[in-house]
Structure 1
Amino acid sequence: MNLSDFCRRITGPDARLLPENHKLGARLICPEYSKSVQEVKTYPLLSQDRSFLLCWNFDSPGNLYATMMPSPENFCYHYSYSDGEYTQLHTHDYLELSYVVDGEFHQRILNKDVVFQKGELCLIDKNCLHQDCLTDQSGVVLFLGIANDMFTEIMNENSTPQKILSFLQSALLKQKDVQQFLHFRPSAGASEALDDSLLLLLKESYSPDSGSRYITKGLLFRIFRILSTQYDFSLSKEQKQTMNWIVFEEISDYIRAHFRDITIQDLVNEFHYQEDYFNRLIKRKTGLTYSAYLQQIRLERAEHLLVSTDKSIEAIADSVGYHNKGYFYKLFQEKYEETPASYRRHTR
């Protein structure tokens, strides 16, 4: 059973149907009741170390079936709507990732109408005002709510820096006064990989068992990994500037941690950009090429060791990545206008 079939099964005729006036209905689908009110949807689970899923099935024109999980008892809620109807304007106090399983999905985000096609995703920041549009088109949409604590835990356990993970952590979580969203579009085969992971997550949340928390966290890690490597997203000019600084800081930190024997191919393997990207980014931020920037870091480290340790100059040169003593002397003298030995004598 694929993701689309499973979503339709849990929102189909076999599910326990709630009465239309059930209090949970407004949580699942809250129709617009005011043009001026801005609701803040809070995290629905008591535990902040779990994610939750909300599934919408536009079964036929004017009929929407929804369910949420995990739940003490599986259920389904039916809502009759008019074509073009909106939900109430709202924000969340958590991150929401919406995924179009089938059909297309319309949203109004920051007063902008956006259409998401099958396989595309939208990640909405906590303070981002938006509404969902209910149209007379069949389709299935999956909403994934991620508590801040769980998201932070996933970020902290990610051992390989990735541009999207860094952006989410720094730009979405830390800049709490910024309203923004990200529209993800899949590369070839990406939606199939994401479907498989979301299906496993959905099944785990629909029928939780012992260890579900750990399985869920692992699947979330996998989902964000797919987003970071197989999906593209577009940024505003301001977001791109933020993104470039975040990536530069990560690259700079990595170079400083591995300056002794690093190569530009190591950066390619670690950050998944082309070689010329690193030269362009470093040049834009420092005015130096990659080679000149690495040389500067090595010589600054050598200068520190000359002043703060009694290591021989040969040992210092080797420790910062220069195995040719003559070449090291030449570079050091060009930068500091004296030999390493002379520099050590007068600074100490």
Structure 2
Amino acid sequence: MMEGIFKKLMEETEEERSILRGNQSINKAIYTNLTSDFVIQSEKFLKDDLIMIRKHPRYIDFPKHSHDYIEMNYVYHGEFFQKVADQPIRLKKGEILLLNQHIEHELKACKKEDIIINFIIHPAFFDYIVTNLSTGFIQNQMLQFLVNSMFDFNQKGEFLYYPVSDSNRIQDIMNQLLLEMMNQSLLAKSKIKFLMGLLIIELIEQKKNQTATPIKNEQHSFLNDVFLYIEENYRDANLQSLATKFNQNVYWVSRLIKQLTNQNFKDLVQEKRLLVTKNLLLYTDLSMQAIAEEVGYENVSYFYRIFKQKYGMTPRAYKLELMKTE
């Protein structure tokens, strides 16, 4: 099976055949509609998808550029030379490089035996990971924190290098991704999303092992305690009670939660209450008044308003939709 993939990847694409015929300039129209800065646009590849996988074109240098998406380079065979933010980088077989959408890089021409796979990933995909690959409030919030730690979505150009050629787990996931890339089945796109989610989790674990510090360990411990407190006290959770638990003032606790999660304490409590609400709507026949009180809302109108803001419909309409899908 994998031999078949290698044989397929070794074949020249139309773009590569054009280069071999003597066209030694990048056809920018393939990558961008912009006429000034060379910014590769996700709309050229993603359409309505969150992820697209393609082989990097060989035989030609690629000029300095950036992109409006997260890019991942994976060396399937051979090696890959590039300059990222003016820093020379050589990727060897099995290694991975992640680049955010604000960094520039330029690429040296690949030889015939250099097979590089590019993953074009919309930033919204990381919301998809948190929503679909975590279960329960604590897992959801901790995964969100880890993803935010890994990908700093500000205006700063950043990249992450992963020398993971000896990681059997990561290489196995990569091989599965390539199999699905070649697969045209209706489920292939869904499989790619979940495999990529698993890959990101593995890379998060790799990065944590490489860069773990006492400060980061303390941050993780702090957040675990915060999330556990909310899990157990969401009906009447309040910052003063939480601050007392840490022997700190309210301002310190509030500021650190915001710094680490990019959410306010109130937002986290509300997220937990709404998750419980969904379970009560699905598995009980409680009235809306009773559900609102059960999750900690005395004002039913306010309860309706925040639920609709989150899910786009009232709790009653949401329950009806759930009943239709059973």
Q: State the TM bucket, normalised to the shorter chain.
A: 0.5 to 0.7
Is it true that 1:122 corresponds to 2:122 in the alignment? no
Partner of 2:245: 297
Is it true that 1:20 corresponds to 2:21 in the alignment? no
Deviation of the 1:6 alpha carbon = 1.0
Deviation of the 1:233 alpha carbon = 8.0
User: 1:65-76 counterparts in 2 under 5 A?
Assistant: 66=57
Q: Return the TM-score normalized by structure 2.
A: 0.56
Question: Structure 1 stretches of 5 or more lacking a match?
Answer: 31-36, 57-65, 67-78, 263-293, 302-348
Partner of 2:272: none
Partner of 2:153: 174
- In structure 2, relative to structure 1, the CA distance for the partners of 1:171 and 1:227 (3 Å cut) is closer
Is it true that 1:258 corresponds to 2:224 in the alignment? no
Amino acid at match of 2:118: F
Q: Which has the higher helix share?
A: 2
- In structure 2, relative to structure 1, the CA distance for the partners of 1:54 and 1:26 (3 Å cut) is farther
Amino acid at match of 2:40: K
- In structure 2, relative to structure 1, the CA distance for the partners of 1:99 and 1:162 (3 Å cut) is farther
Q: Which has the higher strand share?
A: 1
Q: What is the alpha-carbon distance in structure 1 between the residues aligned to residue 74 and residue 127 of structure 2?
A: 21
Deviation of the 1:7 alpha carbon = 3.7
Higher radius of gyration, 1 or 2: 1
Partner of 2:179: 203
Is it true that 1:109 corresponds to 2:84 in the alignment? yes
Partner of 2:115: 140
Secondary structure of the residue aligned to 1:255 is helix
Deviation of the 1:295 alpha carbon = 10
Secondary structure of the residue aligned to 2:63 is coil
Q: What is the alpha-carbon distance in structure 1 between the residues aligned to residue 143 and residue 83 of structure 2?
A: 23
- In structure 2, relative to structure 1, the CA distance for the partners of 1:89 and 1:258 (3 Å cut) is same
Question: Structure 2 stretches of 5 or more lacking a match?
Answer: 233-241, 250-326
Report Cα offsets for 1:95-154 as digits up to 9, x if no partner.
011111222211100011111122211000101000111255832211111112223211
Identity %: 17
- In structure 2, relative to structure 1, the CA distance for the partners of 1:232 and 1:254 (3 Å cut) is closer
Q: What is the alpha-carbon distance in structure 2 between the residues aligned to residue 80 and residue 206 of structure 1?
A: 23
- In structure 2, relative to structure 1, the CA distance for the partners of 1:194 and 1:156 (3 Å cut) is same
Partner of 1:185: 163
Give the number of equivalent residue pairs.
227
Deviation of the 1:254 alpha carbon = 1.3
- In structure 2, relative to structure 1, the CA distance for the partners of 1:121 and 1:253 (3 Å cut) is same
Secondary structure of the residue aligned to 1:127 is coil
Secondary structure of the residue aligned to 1:258 is helix
CA RMSD of aligned residues (A): 4.2
Deviation of the 1:224 alpha carbon = 1.3
